[in-house]
Amino acid sequence: MVERLWAGWRAAYLEELGEHTTPGVKPQPVEGQSLFEAILDSGRPDEETFILWRGRHCFSLLNLYPYTTGHVLVLPRRAVRDLEDLEADEAAELWAAVRDAVVAVKAVYHPDGVNVGANLGAAAGAGIPDHLHVHVLPRWFGDTNFTMTLAETRVIPESLALTWSKLTAAWPG
């Protein structure tokens, strides 16, 4: 028997994908600008870029390729590769924003746990190694099941737009 995994909302998302583009964002990076800087400077509304919060030195947005529903990225506005390249004000605001992201994720999703981490450098798994970013994502017992193990497929049951709405409403402050 063939099993079906219905995710009809993904069609619109996939239609927007193109080489070196971000769905719904279509940033036009300037020479030397990171993807995240292009998203931040795109001039598009936050509900289109999935930016959750903007601070003086940092901001947060949804991961467009989430590991789980509610996968948030927190990062400095300026592209830096390593933690030690952050100025003191940037570092302080970054970790305060990570805390706020955890608070929002817990309030919305009531997970069994939360992963917080940064992949520093390509060898450590960073997909965009030139712009430091911290991952905050809810985790539940059993969230890695047969679908992930056997089919290497993740089920994301919620659209990014709905996730954005929920997390912006729950963001502290």
Rama region for 137: left / alpha / beta (φ>0; ψ in -120 to 50; rest): beta
How many angstroms separate the CA atoms of 63 and 107, rounded? 18
Return the structure tokens found at 70: 């509610």
Selecting among 71, 131, 133, 135, the annotated active-site residue is 133
Catalytic site includes residue 133: yes
How many C-beta atoms surround the C-beta of residue 164 within 10 A?
19
Burial of 53 (0-12, 13-18, 19+ CB in 10 A): buried
Domains and CATH numbers, the chain: 46-170 (3.30.428.10)
Q: Token match 């990225």: residue?
A: 73
Is the separation of the CB atoms in 97 and 90 below 8 Å?
no
| pTM across the whole model | 0.81
pLDDT of residue 173: 86
The pLDDT value given to residue 20: 40
What's the confidence (pLDDT) of residue 33? 87
How many Cβ atoms are within 10 Å of 41's Cβ, its own excluded?
14
Query: What's the pLDDT score for residue 28?
Result: 53
Which residues of the chain are under the pLDDT cut of 50? 2, 13, 17-26, 146-149
According to the model, what pLDDT value does residue 29 have? 56
pLDDT for res 27:
53
CB 105 within 8 A of CB 114: yes
Give counts: helices (H), strands (E), the chain.
6, 5
Type and span of the H or E element at 147:
helix 146-151
- Separation between Cα atoms, residue 150 and residue 87, nearest integer Å: 44
